Structures are given as structure tokens and as C-alpha cells.
Chains A and B, each alone.
Chain A
Amino acid sequence: MSEAILQIRNLSKSYFHKQPVLHDVSLDVKPEEILIIIGPSGAGKSTLMRCINHLITPSSGHIYFKGLDIPSLHGNQMRACRRRIGMVFQEFNLVERLTVLENLLIGRLGYMKPLDAFLQRYAAEDIDAAEALLTRLGLREFALKRADNLSGGQRQRVGIGRALMQNPELLLVDEPTSSLDPKTSVEVMEIMAELARERHIPVLVNMHDVNLARRFADRIVGMREGRIVFDGKKEELTNDTLAKIYGGDSWMH
């Protein structure tokens, strides 16, 4: 594999003095890989992800994304960087009262002039791209339905579509299946992995479902209490390592 697309160096974040949520985390994301971070709740996975697109400002450390040091960016530079990074959320975070199509086009807002965005004057090719993507996601007939009419799996597919509309160079996926049933979880992960590989987008996923992570990851990172305690191929993830990540092994049997 070539040069890393995202390099996280010595990243720390604490909300309260001397209670770090992230503790000196360093991690590389390589082109076109699906990297899945596993770990118990409160391990700092979501915080790490939100530092990457600067929804949260880290306390110290660097995040290099194609030559940019993300924590140091402000204003327009930060937003221009954010639009190159797509994000998928645990609870989908769709704008409930907008239609499915409008939700997808939110992915284009970062590229539009302020007035065009305000008046929803989307470019024709953006609308075409959104419709093509909806067809791929199996949501074509829902384009003009309001997002709050959809089921969980459908909503998460809209969430994936919205992130992909940004033409991202990196996809951040935060607990994508925690609000879904097991079958839907696999279906959602499958369509996401497929679309990402097709577009050669590296994907960084948080989840706590170990089996799902094994099934879809190229590489797995284990986090515990704000530190990385495992980083390797999925074959290297043994029960001993899992016990180290989650603490104890009684839950495995």
C-alpha cells in the first residue's frame, strides 16, 4: 500500500482537566482500505472521528489529510476541507422534514454559492447524480418522500448517499448499525463497502459489533479508554486481544 491518506499523530482530547477521552492516539488510514475501529462505549471512538472533520477541536496533536493539518484550519478553509470528508451517523441524522432527495443534496451544500444554496438552486448534474445514487441505494421511488417516513435501514442508506454526494476522499462512519437489526446491518454495510470500493474511497468505521467488523474490515483497530490497544489484520484479532479491548472474556462465551 502506498502513502497514508490520513495521518493522525499524538492526538489527545480532554473535556475536563486530567480526564482525557483520547490519549496520544496515532493512526494511519491508507488509500482504499476499510479500517474498522472497535472498542467498548466510551473508548473515545466517536470523539476521534469528530476530531477528523473538526466537529470537535482536539486538545493537542495533528491530523494530516492530504497535506492539510485539520485541527489548525478555520472558517472557509475548514469547511472546504470538511466537504472532502463524508460522514455517516449512528442515528442517521437526516433532516426529518426534508425529502430524501433534498437530504442527499445536502451533501452538495459545501460546494455551492451561499445564495444558490439558500434558494436550493442545485446544479442539474448534482440532481442527476443524486437520482442515480438513489437508484443504486434502492430508494428511487422514495426520492420525494419525507425522510421521517422511512425505516431505519432506508434512512441509513440515505445517510450514506448524502455522504457520497460530497464526492468525499474519505468516509467517516460512526456506529452505522447500532440502531439497526442484524440483517439490515449487514445489508447497509454491504452497500456501503461496495460503493466505497467502486469510488476508491477509504473508509474509517466505528462499531462495537466484532463479527460485523471481522466481516467487512481490511484492518481492525481496537481502542480502550482513549488509547489504541490493537492494530492489525482481522486474522490477527484473537480472543486474547478482544479480552484486552473489551475487558474480561466472560461476554464471549
Chain B
Amino acid sequence: MDALTRRVLKTQEPVPTGGMEKVRRFFRFYGVQILLFLFVVYVLFALSRLGISPKRISEGFTQGKVFLSRLFPPDFITRWDDIRHDMLESLEIAVVASIIGILLSLPLGLLGARNLMPSVVTWPVRLFISLARAFNPIIIGIIFVKAVGFGPLAGLLTLSVASVGFIGKLFIEAVEEISMKQVEAVRASGASFLSVIRFGVLPQVSARFIGFGMYQFDSNLRNSTTLGIVGAGGIGGTLFAAYQRFDYRIVCAIVLLIIGLIILDEYVSERVRRVFQ
């Protein structure tokens, strides 16, 4: 409780006499301050448990300088064929997974919206979407690599599930925020349910859906560069292998290429979003 509220309340409430009453009043007045204090204590405790001290930090930076000097100049040539193939594979996984995710999320977004559907429909749909979002893509990737074997198929499935988890939820929220007045008007014309969706709902959400789809593609592109670490296809596999062989100049080349790809993607998705405003 802040000082101002405390001061006003002190003048309004009788001073308690009983022991328990006094304790309760103390916690009510100073609860937030106590919580804040405990939080600061926990952060200091966590740092000490992790062994992070000024000495450890300065050792880390010395090691970092050596590592940085071994990164340059980047080596694009030695493994160029592998790098090219895997970069393209990452891109392909991201594109196809985004499209699958969007196609699945469209109906799920409508079925999960509580302003359009009864709870017997929205409840299972929302549960499914929550489960799809529950795990980090790396964990889903490990499961799919075991289930369908190494390679891009596992990555594709992983990112499709992740896409449904995120854009499914965003689509539902977008549909739940629409103006029901426009929907009412289309219903009043005697239009069928499908027409109500097509003319009353979709025009209100289509621009946002495209924005969310592009956003998910950005995210899928980033994730598709790490999935190779668990064997689910893409550039991550080559990157990880280069790390393990201490080929830091190749690592540097791959990292630079990923940065270039992400910048290019940011540029393209910005343009696409502007077109559909």
C-alpha cells in the first residue's frame, strides 16, 4: 500500500487492540513493500548460487576476446555447398510451416471465439491451441525427431504445431474483439451462417490476420535456424557441427548469413503489412 492511502486509512479506521488484528493491519499496510524486499533478496541469492561474481565475469570476458579473434575472417568457402543447402532448407521449412499453421488457424480461430460459438465448441479448440503453445519448439522438435526420424519433416511438423499455438490464439482474440454490430446487420439480412462469417466477421479481421501470419513467419524463420541442433533439418545442424569442430570461421559465416536473412525478412514483411493495412 502506498504512503498516501495508508495515511488516509489511518485517520479513518480505529486503531486495533487485539494482537492478531494488529498483525493483519501491518501486513495490509506494508504487504507490497515486504514482497518487493523479498524479491530483491531472492535475486541476490540466485546470483550467488549461480556462482556469478565479478571475478567470474572478468574471466568470461578474457575468454570471449580470444573467441572473437578466432571468428574472423568468416569462411564461406570450405562448406559452401552444405551451408547453401541448409539455409534454403531452413527457409523452405519456415515458409511451408507458416502456410500450414495459418490454414489450420483460420478455422480454429473462428471455432474458438466465444462471441460466435457455444462453449462446447470453444473449450476443446482452446485447449488444443494451448497445448500446441505449451512447449518451446526445441522440445516439440525433439519429440518429432524421435517420432518421424531426422530431417526436415520433423522441423516442418514442429513449426506447424508452434504456429497453430501462437496464431491460433491471436486469431481467436482478434475475432473476439470485432464489432458485433456489423455481424448483427448481416444476420438481419437473412444471410446464412457462412455468409455472416464471410461478410460480417472476416472483413473486420483480415488485415490483422495477415499481420499475425507475417509475424509468425518471422518467428518460424528464426526458429528454423535452430531446429537443426536437435536434428530436425535446416542450417542449425551445420552450425552446431561447426561449433563442435571448433571451425569458428565457418560459424561466423553462418551467423552472418542468418543475420542477413532475418534483415531481408524484416524488410519484406514490413512491406507486405503496409500493403494490407
CA separation between A181 and B199, bound complex, in Å? 29
Is B185 a contact partner of A82 (Cβ separation < 8 A)?
no
Please name all residues of chain B whose beta carbon is closer than 8 Å to the beta carbon of A23 when the two chains form the complex.
none
Closest residue of chain A to B192, judged by CB?
A: A114
Please name all residues of chain B whose beta carbon is closer than 8 Å to the beta carbon of A79 when the two chains form the complex.
190-192
Chain A interface residue count, CB cutoff 8 Å, equals 32
CA separation between A82 and B186, bound complex, in Å? 11
Per-position contact with B for A62-102: 1 when CB-CB < 8 Å, else 0?
00000000000000000111111111010101111110001
Please name all residues of chain B whose beta carbon is closer than 8 Å to the beta carbon of A93 when the two chains form the complex.
181-182, 184-185
Closest residue of chain B to A98, judged by CB?
A: B203
CA separation between A159 and B184, bound complex, in Å? 13
Question: How many residue pairs, one in A and one in B, have C-beta atoms under 8 Å apart?
Answer: 84
What distance in Å separates the Cβ of B115 from its nearest Cβ neighbour in chain A? 15
Chain A stretch 83-132: residues in CB contact (< 8 A) with chain B: 83-87, 89, 91, 93-98, 102, 106-107, 109-112, 114, 117-118
Is A12 an interface residue, CB under 8 A from the partner? no
CA separation between A106 and B204, bound complex, in Å? 15
Is A83 a contact partner of B189 (Cβ separation < 8 A)?
yes
Is B191 a contact partner of A97 (Cβ separation < 8 A)?
no
Please name all residues of chain A whose beta carbon is closer than 8 Å to the beta carbon of B200 when the two chains form the complex.
95
Interface residues of B (CB under 8 A from A): 179, 181-182, 184-192, 194-195, 198-200, 203-204, 206-207
Interface residues of A (CB under 8 A from B): 53, 55, 79-87, 89, 91, 93-98, 102, 106-107, 109-112, 114, 117-118, 159, 162, 166
Task: Report 25 cross-chain contacts, Cβ distance below 8 Å, ordered by A residue.
Answer: A79-B191, A79-B192, A82-B189, A83-B189, A83-B190, A85-B188, A86-B189, A89-B185, A93-B182, A95-B185, A95-B199, A96-B182, A97-B204, A98-B203, A106-B185, A106-B189, A106-B199, A109-B186, A109-B189, A109-B191, A109-B192, A109-B195, A110-B191, A117-B194, A159-B185
